[in-house]
Protein backbone atom coordinates (compact mmCIF):
# COMPACT_ATOMS: atom_id res chain seq x y z
CA UNK A 1 0.00 0.00 0.00
CA UNK A 2 1.21 3.44 -0.80
CA UNK A 3 1.42 6.54 1.31
CA UNK A 4 -1.59 8.84 1.41
CA UNK A 5 0.54 11.85 0.60
CA UNK A 6 1.19 10.59 -2.93
CA UNK A 7 -0.79 12.18 -5.69
CA UNK A 8 -3.85 10.07 -6.60
CA UNK A 9 -3.69 8.48 -10.02
CA UNK A 10 -5.46 5.88 -12.07
CA UNK A 11 -9.10 6.82 -11.61
CA UNK A 12 -9.67 5.64 -15.19
CA UNK A 13 -8.29 2.22 -14.35
CA UNK A 14 -10.64 1.94 -11.38
CA UNK A 15 -13.57 2.85 -13.61
CA UNK A 16 -12.52 0.27 -16.20
CA UNK A 17 -12.39 -2.49 -13.57
CA UNK A 18 -15.85 -1.44 -12.42
CA UNK A 19 -17.20 -1.55 -15.99
CA UNK A 20 -15.78 -5.05 -16.43
CA UNK A 21 -17.50 -6.01 -13.17
CA UNK A 22 -20.74 -4.51 -14.50
CA UNK A 23 -20.41 -6.69 -17.59
CA UNK A 24 -19.98 -9.75 -15.42
CA UNK A 25 -23.11 -8.74 -13.50
CA UNK A 26 -25.33 -8.90 -16.56
CA UNK A 27 -23.63 -11.42 -18.82
CA UNK A 28 -26.24 -14.11 -19.53
CA UNK A 29 -25.79 -17.34 -17.57
CA UNK A 30 -27.80 -20.52 -17.27
CA UNK A 31 -30.50 -20.58 -14.61
CA UNK A 32 -28.43 -22.67 -12.20
CA UNK A 33 -25.26 -20.62 -12.57
CA UNK A 34 -27.33 -17.49 -12.10
CA UNK A 35 -27.85 -18.42 -8.45
CA UNK A 36 -24.13 -18.37 -7.71
CA UNK A 37 -23.26 -15.23 -9.66
CA UNK A 38 -20.93 -13.30 -7.33
CA UNK A 39 -21.61 -9.64 -6.57
CA UNK A 40 -18.84 -8.57 -8.92
CA UNK A 41 -19.29 -4.83 -8.63
CA UNK A 42 -19.38 -4.90 -4.84
CA UNK A 43 -16.27 -7.09 -4.72
CA UNK A 44 -14.32 -4.77 -7.01
CA UNK A 45 -15.52 -1.78 -5.02
CA UNK A 46 -14.48 -3.45 -1.75
CA UNK A 47 -11.04 -4.16 -3.16
CA UNK A 48 -10.49 -0.53 -4.07
CA UNK A 49 -11.77 0.65 -0.70
CA UNK A 50 -9.41 -1.80 0.97
CA UNK A 51 -6.35 -0.67 -0.94
CA UNK A 52 -7.18 3.05 -1.31
CA UNK A 53 -9.37 3.78 1.73
CA UNK A 54 -8.66 7.51 1.63
CA UNK A 55 -9.79 7.87 -1.94
CA UNK A 56 -12.52 5.32 -2.48
CA UNK A 57 -15.27 5.34 0.10
CA UNK A 58 -18.93 5.86 0.75
CA UNK A 59 -19.58 8.24 -2.14
CA UNK A 60 -18.01 5.85 -4.62
CA UNK A 61 -20.12 3.09 -3.12
CA UNK A 62 -23.22 5.18 -3.58
CA UNK A 63 -22.42 6.04 -7.19
CA UNK A 64 -21.51 2.48 -8.16
CA UNK A 65 -24.66 1.21 -6.49
CA UNK A 66 -26.77 3.76 -8.32
CA UNK A 67 -25.23 2.63 -11.58
CA UNK A 68 -26.06 -0.98 -10.75
CA UNK A 69 -29.63 0.05 -9.96
CA UNK A 70 -30.11 1.38 -13.45
CA UNK A 71 -28.20 -1.49 -15.01
CA UNK A 72 -30.35 -4.23 -13.49
CA UNK A 73 -33.54 -2.20 -13.24
CA UNK A 74 -34.09 -2.25 -9.50
CA UNK A 75 -35.65 0.55 -7.47
CA UNK A 76 -33.38 3.56 -7.75
CA UNK A 77 -31.40 3.73 -4.50
CA UNK A 78 -31.66 0.05 -3.55
CA UNK A 79 -28.12 -0.96 -4.40
CA UNK A 80 -26.82 2.57 -3.80
CA UNK A 81 -27.83 2.18 -0.15
CA UNK A 82 -26.37 -1.30 0.15
CA UNK A 83 -23.08 -0.42 -1.55
CA UNK A 84 -22.62 2.80 0.43
CA UNK A 85 -22.95 0.78 3.63
CA UNK A 86 -20.60 -1.91 2.36
CA UNK A 87 -17.97 0.68 1.44
CA UNK A 88 -18.40 2.35 4.83
CA UNK A 89 -17.77 -0.83 6.78
CA UNK A 90 -14.79 -1.76 4.65
CA UNK A 91 -13.38 1.73 5.18
CA UNK A 92 -13.82 1.35 8.91
CA UNK A 93 -12.14 -2.06 8.99
CA UNK A 94 -9.44 -1.81 6.34
CA UNK A 95 -6.51 -1.82 8.78
CA UNK A 96 -7.59 -5.05 10.40
CA UNK A 97 -8.65 -6.52 7.09
CA UNK A 98 -5.14 -6.13 5.67
CA UNK A 99 -3.57 -8.28 8.36
CA UNK A 100 -6.26 -10.94 8.43
CA UNK A 101 -5.35 -14.41 7.20
CA UNK A 102 -6.89 -15.62 3.98
CA UNK A 103 -9.86 -17.46 5.41
CA UNK A 104 -10.76 -14.64 7.75
CA UNK A 105 -10.69 -12.13 4.90
CA UNK A 106 -13.11 -14.28 2.95
CA UNK A 107 -15.34 -14.50 6.00
CA UNK A 108 -15.44 -10.70 6.30
CA UNK A 109 -16.22 -10.40 2.60
CA UNK A 110 -18.98 -12.96 3.03
CA UNK A 111 -20.49 -10.91 5.86
CA UNK A 112 -20.19 -7.63 3.97
CA UNK A 113 -21.63 -8.96 0.72
CA UNK A 114 -24.28 -10.91 2.58
CA UNK A 115 -25.48 -7.94 4.59
CA UNK A 116 -25.48 -5.67 1.54
CA UNK A 117 -27.54 -8.25 -0.33
CA UNK A 118 -29.87 -8.73 2.61
CA UNK A 119 -30.47 -4.99 2.73
CA UNK A 120 -31.16 -4.88 -1.00
CA UNK A 121 -33.43 -7.90 -0.63
CA UNK A 122 -35.42 -6.17 2.11
CA UNK A 123 -35.93 -3.10 -0.06
CA UNK A 124 -36.95 -5.27 -3.00
CA UNK A 125 -39.28 -7.19 -0.72
CA UNK A 126 -40.94 -3.98 0.42
CA UNK A 127 -41.52 -3.12 -3.22
CA UNK A 128 -43.05 -6.55 -3.79
CA UNK A 129 -40.56 -7.81 -6.31
CA UNK A 130 -39.17 -10.84 -4.54
CA UNK A 131 -40.27 -14.36 -5.19
CA UNK A 132 -37.72 -16.77 -3.75
CA UNK A 133 -37.07 -16.91 0.02
CA UNK A 134 -34.31 -14.67 1.45
CA UNK A 135 -31.82 -17.49 2.14
CA UNK A 136 -31.28 -17.74 -1.63
CA UNK A 137 -28.96 -14.73 -1.45
CA UNK A 138 -26.56 -16.92 0.52
CA UNK A 139 -25.49 -18.73 -2.65
CA UNK A 140 -24.06 -15.65 -4.29
CA UNK A 141 -22.60 -14.38 -1.00
CA UNK A 142 -20.68 -17.64 -0.63
CA UNK A 143 -19.61 -17.44 -4.26
CA UNK A 144 -18.41 -13.89 -3.63
CA UNK A 145 -16.37 -14.99 -0.62
CA UNK A 146 -14.81 -17.83 -2.60
CA UNK A 147 -13.90 -15.61 -5.55
CA UNK A 148 -12.48 -12.87 -3.30
CA UNK A 149 -8.86 -14.07 -3.16
CA UNK A 150 -8.39 -14.74 -6.89
CA UNK A 151 -10.09 -11.44 -7.67
CA UNK A 152 -7.78 -9.67 -5.23
CA UNK A 153 -4.80 -11.17 -7.03
CA UNK A 154 -6.02 -9.93 -10.40
CA UNK A 155 -6.86 -6.46 -9.12
CA UNK A 156 -3.54 -6.23 -7.26
CA UNK A 157 -1.77 -6.96 -10.52
CA UNK A 158 -3.88 -4.31 -12.29
CA UNK A 159 -3.11 -1.83 -9.53
CA UNK A 160 0.65 -2.35 -9.70
CA UNK A 161 0.76 -2.57 -13.47
CA UNK A 162 -1.14 0.69 -14.01
CA UNK A 163 0.16 2.48 -10.92
CA UNK A 164 -3.18 3.20 -9.31
CA UNK A 165 -2.79 5.08 -6.03
Partner 1 sequence: MSSANPTYRLLIALVLAVVLIALDQRSRWVDPLRYALGYLTAPVQYLAHLPVDAANGVMRLTETRTRLMESRERLERQVLILEQKVQRLAVLQAENTRLRELLNSSANLDASVLVAEIIGVDPDPNRQELVINKGVRDEVSQGQAVLDSEGLIGQVVETGPLSARVLLITDASHAMSVQVNRNGVRAILAGTGQGSRLRLLYVPDTADIREGDLLVSTGLGKLYPRGYPVARVVSVNHQSGASFSDIEARPTAHLDRVSHVLLVQSMEPVSAPDMETDGGDQAGAAGLEAAAGPDTEGADATE
Please work out the total of residues on this chain that contact partner 1, with binding judged by CB under 8 A.
48
- Identify which of residues 11 and 136 has a Cβ nearer to partner 1 in the complex: 136
131 is a site residue for partner 1 (CB under 8 A): yes
CB of 31 to partner 1, least distance (A): 7
**DSSP category for residue 1:** -
81 is a site residue for partner 1 (CB under 8 A): yes
Interface of this chain with partner 1, residues 47 to 66, rule: CB under 8 A: 54-55, 57-59, 61-62, 65-66
Residues 6+ apart with CB under 8 A from 146: 38, 106
Alpha helices (H) along 27-136: 31-35, 40-51, 58-72, 78-99, 102-127
Residue 47's Cα: distance from chain center in Å? 7
106 within 8 A of 148, measured Cβ to Cβ: yes
Binding site for partner 1 (CB under 8 A): 4, 19, 22-23, 25-29, 31, 34-35, 37, 54-55, 57-59, 61-62, 65-67, 70-78, 80-81, 84-85, 88, 91-92, 123-124, 127-132, 136
Amino acid sequence: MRLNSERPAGTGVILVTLVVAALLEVVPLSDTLNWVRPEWMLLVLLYWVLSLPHRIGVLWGFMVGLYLDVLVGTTLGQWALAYALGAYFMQAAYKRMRVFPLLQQSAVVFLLVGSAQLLAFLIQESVGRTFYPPYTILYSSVASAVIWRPLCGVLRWVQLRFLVR
